[in-house]
């Protein structure tokens, strides 16, 4: 079957197996930030945003993304122009092997999109489904809080420039 979807602002028409899971389709389309871990919705490393909501792509049939807008970490930023969250993860040392980072970044972005001023508890709750086996959880909470601050500051600065 055909899957028409928009990924990171670009239109795709992909030939897929009706039983294919979104994680596999995205990786085959070259979006290698999307990781495969448990394959059963428990670790969060395959999380992507579908129409603004974080979803575990290992338990999402690719066909359900017909007509949807998908965001992966590739669409958040790049090494030259990282998203504030990506920069904060690097600065705080929240990256060791990095395998969990794409899913955590997507969950963190979903949080800040809906709540730009989260408490540490809010961050903890939002990242609850994203397991990390090497860095642990304190640094990434600090990273999300510091990205939220940086984003607020840059909004104020850009408003001041108008």
- Please say which residue, 24 or 152, places its beta carbon nearer to ligand FES: 24
- How far apart are alpha carbons 27 and 24 in whole angstroms? 5
Lookup result for tokens 């980072």: 101
Phi, psi at 26, each rounded to 5°: -65, -45
Give one DSSP letter per residue of 135-147, joined into a string. S-SHHHHHHHHHH
Lookup result for tokens 């899913």: 103
Q: At closest approach, how far in Å is the CB of 131 from ligand FES?
A: 7
Q: At closest approach, how far in Å is the CB of 115 from ligand FES?
A: 23
Q: At closest approach, how far in Å is the CB of 129 from ligand FES?
A: 8
Q: At closest approach, how far in Å is the CB of 27 from ligand FES?
A: 11
Q: Which of 50, 62, 76, 100 binds ligand FES (CB under 6 A)?
A: 100
Lay out the site mask for ligand FES across 13-52 (x = CB under 6 A, - = otherwise): -----------------------xxxx-xxxxxx------
- How far apart are alpha carbons 1 and 61 in whole angstroms? 12
Strands across the sheet containing 2-7 = 10-15, 2-7, 69-71, 47-50, 53-56
Lay out the site mask for ligand FES across 47-76 (x = CB under 6 A, - = otherwise): ---------x-x------------------
Using the rule CB under 6 A, give the single segment among 80-88, 91-99, 120-128, 154-162 that binds ligand FES. 91-99
- How far apart are alpha carbons 14 and 21 in whole angstroms? 13
Residue ranges in contact with ligand FES by CB under 6 A: 36-39, 41-46, 56, 58, 95-100, 132-135
């Amino acid at each position: 079957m055909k899957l028409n979807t928009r990924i990171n602002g670009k239109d795709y028409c992909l030939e897929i197996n009706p039983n294919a899971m979104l994680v596999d389709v995205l990786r085959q389309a070259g979006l290698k930030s999307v990781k495969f871990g448990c394959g059963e919705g428990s670790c969060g490393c395959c999380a992507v945003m579908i129409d603004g909501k974080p979803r575990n792509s290992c338990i999402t049939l690719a066909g359900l993304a017909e007509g949807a807008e998908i965001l992966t970490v590739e669409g958040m930023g790049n090494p030259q122009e990282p998203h504030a969250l990506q920069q904060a993860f690097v600065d705080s040392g929240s990256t060791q092997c990095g395998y969990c980072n794409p899913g955590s970044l997507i969950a963190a972005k979903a949080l800040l999109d809906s709540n730009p001023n989260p408490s540490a508890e809010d961050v903890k709750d939002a990242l609850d489904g994203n397991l990390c086996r090497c860095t642990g959880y304190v640094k990434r909470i600090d990273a999300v809080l510091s990205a939220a601050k940086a984003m607020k500051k840059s909004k104020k600065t850009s408003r001041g420039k108008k």
